[in-house]
Amino acid sequence: MGIENKTDCHVLVIGSGGAGIRAAVEAESYGDTIIVSKTITGKGGCTVMAEGGFNAVLKNTDSIQTHFEDTMIGGAYLNDEVLVRTLTTEAPDRIRDLFKWGAVFDLAKDNTIAQRPFGGQRCARTCYAGDHTGHEMVMTLLEKLRGSSVKIENEVTILDLLSDGEKVTGAITCDREGDLGLITADAVILATGGAGQIYDTTTNSTAGTGDGYALGYRAGAELIDMEQVQFHPTGAVTPHDSRGRLITEAVRGEGGILRNALGERFMEKYDPKRMELSTRDIVSRSIATEVLEGRGTGNGGVWLDVTHLPREQIEARLPVMLNQFLQFGVDIRTEPMEVAPTAHHFMGGLKITPETQTTVPRLFAAGEVAGGVHGGNRLGGNALAETQVFGRRAGLSAGKCETTARSVDPTQIKAAEDKLDSFYNGTAKTSDVRHSMKMIMWNNVGIYRNELDLKVAEREILKLQKTPLKISSPRELSDAVITENMLQVAHLVIEGALLRRESRGAHTRTDVKQTWTNETSPFGHTFFVNGKSGIEILEDRL
């Protein structure tokens, strides 16, 4: 066993976005806590990029029940009801935590927390800090984290979870230089976020590679609903290298209007009641349809327009958008934005209980890496709330785990080392493999899906998985392992998409005619565990 760098702790948190940091600051009171992330802590997750807001019921005119219902309807009733209850009930307290810790969210004139309307919700429920809400949350959480005893490990990649055959006991790490290490722990929390990076066009940061899905899956944990990938309706279209960059839903929340190349406000056709503030799955499909039917812009997008809004409103409420576009030569105060759907959020993920327990003992999951909270489609503003509600719960659950002897299985280390050695004899460049995967996923496993395209994608991804990756220096080790993780996730997404023979939430099958609605669907979750997969059949609805 050649690994000399060994650390031990009570709780190991993997991932440093909103859920990871929240989990770590909660866990620290129970014992030594380490937070590991492959980026600089706080910079990696999608939380820091989240613009729109945080849903929480704070007003008398709103109710937890309404938030629950909106989330279930938005999620096409594929959500795990218990998780949604947990989310909606605890979100108000979690925003209050953030306020206690110094959050600088916008306040109304009466000094209560300001809230704005978001898609698919019957009440103005979304708390915000301008259009950099996620950044504000991470800054608040970092202040809290830096004042805590949590040990912060930056730029360390997790290669695999350690297991003693029954429970997870820690992780094998790899630093920037490719040196391996071991962290043993009583409990491990996965808070690694989503995997938008398996698609060519995505809002995700370059760290959104879905490592937690792959790590959990390899450790024997069950995943659900991996086919449910949300395409955010409004991603940037130009310039080419910036395609997919998120244009926040707050733009529509503030009154932005969608028009096709003919100048028609096309949402009238698809959801005349909610218009631009329909749910994301519907708006994305509407835009995709407009483009497919030839009413898109030259660059394959549609127009998102705020030029009718007062300049001051744009400047005060959408400063990040304004500045980003200005840097790309577009003044959104006088010109419309060109937008198209972009891979955004994974509703599926590790199956968890409300205590965030996965199906493997001592392994917990919170945030986007977990599945079930959002069903088939996530409402804007529910993800930031999820990071805090379930991040805290993960910290509590992991913290409360009993301290036990932690054995490290030498054969597992040996297997990992052998595998890494094998990369030196590989043939394929990781960058080439990633590029091929992204194009396959984008072209064949996007908004509109059918069995033929999916089968082709499955075959192509399998081919990539079988091509041994090549590295020439230990410094490329993380890249290779992450690439394998991405392929693993891509495979699961395709598997789920083939299994779910219905259109539900973000998953649309053009080759299936269905007679049921979301509420009467005979299908439950798709599931994936230890190489097996399937879809739940609800017998009583058949």
Partner 1 sequence: MKVTISRFDPTTDKEPHFVEYEVPVNKSSRVLNVLDAVRDTIDATFAYRHCCRGGQCGSCAVRVNGEPVLACMQEAHEGDVIEPLDLPRIRDLVTDIAPVIAQIAWMNGGCDCPPVTQEDIEEIKPLRECIECYSCISSCPAISASNYKGPTIMRQEQRLNLDPRDNADRILEAIDKGLFSCTVCHKCVEVCPKDIDTPRKAIEKLRAEASKRGLSLPAHKALASLIEKTGRSIERKEPTFLEQVADVLEPDGEVRATVGFFVGCMFNGRVIQPAFDGVELLRQNGIRVIIPKDQVCCGSPLIRTGFLGFIPELQKRNIDAFVKAGVDTVVTMCAGCGSTLKNDYDTPFRVVDITEFLCEIGFKAPAKVEGTYTYHDPCHLLRGQGISEQPRILLNSVAEKFVEMPARCCGAGGGVKSGKPEEAAKIGAVRAEMVKKTGADFIVTVCPFCEFHLHQVTGLPVKNIATLMMEGYRK
Could you list the active site residues?
232, 252
**8 Å CB contact between 201 and 442:** yes
Least distance to partner 1, CB of residue 476, Å: 5
Nearer to partner 1 (CB atom), residue 47 or residue 79: 47
Residue 457 Cα distances to 447, 464, 502, angstroms: 14, 11, 19
* Amino acid occupying residue 56: A
Which of 21, 23, 48, 221 is close enough to bind partner 1 by CB under 8 A? Answer: 48
Q: Could you say which residues in the range 62-91 bind partner 1, by CB under 8 A?
A: none
Nearer to partner 1 (CB atom), residue 240 or residue 273: 240
Which of 1, 5, 93, 107 is close enough to bind partner 1 by CB under 8 A? Answer: 107
Q: Could you say which residues in the range 251-290 bind partner 1, by CB under 8 A?
A: none
- Is residue 132 within the footprint of partner 1 (CB under 8 A)? yes
3-state DSSP: the chain helix, strand, coil percent, rounded to 5? 40, 20, 40
Least distance to partner 1, CB of residue 363, Å: 26
Q: Which range of residues in 27-35, 158-166, 339-347, 473-481 is near partner 1 by CB under 8 A? A: 473-481
Least distance to partner 1, CB of residue 143, Å: 4
- Is residue 44 within the footprint of partner 1 (CB under 8 A)? yes
Q: Which residues contact 513 (CB under 8 A, 6 or more apart)?
A: none
Which of 106, 164, 417, 451 is close enough to bind partner 1 by CB under 8 A? Answer: 106
Helix (H, G, I), strand (E, B) or coil at 491: helix
Residue 279 Cα distances to 127, 246, 324, 380, 507, angstroms: 18, 16, 25, 8, 13
Other Cβ atoms within 10 Å of 166 Cβ, number:
9
**Angle 532-445-259 from CA coordinates, rounded to 5°:** 145
**Treating both helix axes as pointing N-terminal to C-terminal, what angle do 18-27 and 382-399 enclose, rounded to 10 degrees?**
30
Q: Which range of residues in 69-77, 133-141, 166-174, 367-375 is near partner 1 by CB under 8 A? A: 133-141
Helix (H, G, I), strand (E, B) or coil at 346: strand
Nearer to partner 1 (CB atom), residue 16 or residue 260: 16
CA 193 to chain centroid, in Å, comes to 5
Nearer to partner 1 (CB atom), residue 141 or residue 187: 141
Report the distance separating Cα 19 and Cα 368, nearest Å. 8
- Is residue 468 within the footprint of partner 1 (CB under 8 A)? no
Backbone angles phi, psi at 38, to 5 degrees: -85, -5
- Is residue 476 within the footprint of partner 1 (CB under 8 A)? yes
- If phi > 0 it is left, if psi is from -120 to 50 it is alpha, else beta; for residue 423 that is alpha
Least distance to partner 1, CB of residue 98, Å: 11
C-alpha closest to that of 347 among 384, 380, 382, 375: 375
- Is residue 136 within the footprint of partner 1 (CB under 8 A)? yes
C-alpha closest to that of 168 among 416, 481, 398: 398
- Is residue 99 within the footprint of partner 1 (CB under 8 A)? yes
Nearer to partner 1 (CB atom), residue 198 or residue 413: 198
Nearer to partner 1 (CB atom), residue 64 or residue 320: 320
C-alpha closest to that of 35 among 344, 386, 348, 398: 398
For partner 1 (CB under 8 A), the number of binding residues is: 55
- Is residue 154 within the footprint of partner 1 (CB under 8 A)? yes
For residue 398, what is the enclosing H or E element?
Answer: helix 382-399
Q: Could you say which residues in the range 373-392 bind partner 1, by CB under 8 A?
A: none
Site string for partner 1, 425-444 (x = CB under 8 A): ----xxx-------------
Q: Which residues contact 305 (CB under 8 A, 6 or more apart)?
A: 256, 257, 258, 259, 336, 337
Q: Could you say which residues in the range 325-354 bind partner 1, by CB under 8 A?
A: 327-328
Q: Could you say which residues in the range 2-41 bind partner 1, by CB under 8 A?
A: 39-40
Least distance to partner 1, CB of residue 102, Å: 4
Binding site for partner 1 (CB under 8 A): 39-40, 42-44, 48-49, 99-102, 104-109, 111, 129-130, 132, 135-136, 139, 142-144, 146-147, 154, 176, 205-207, 238-242, 245-246, 320, 323-324, 327-328, 429-431, 471-473, 475-476, 479
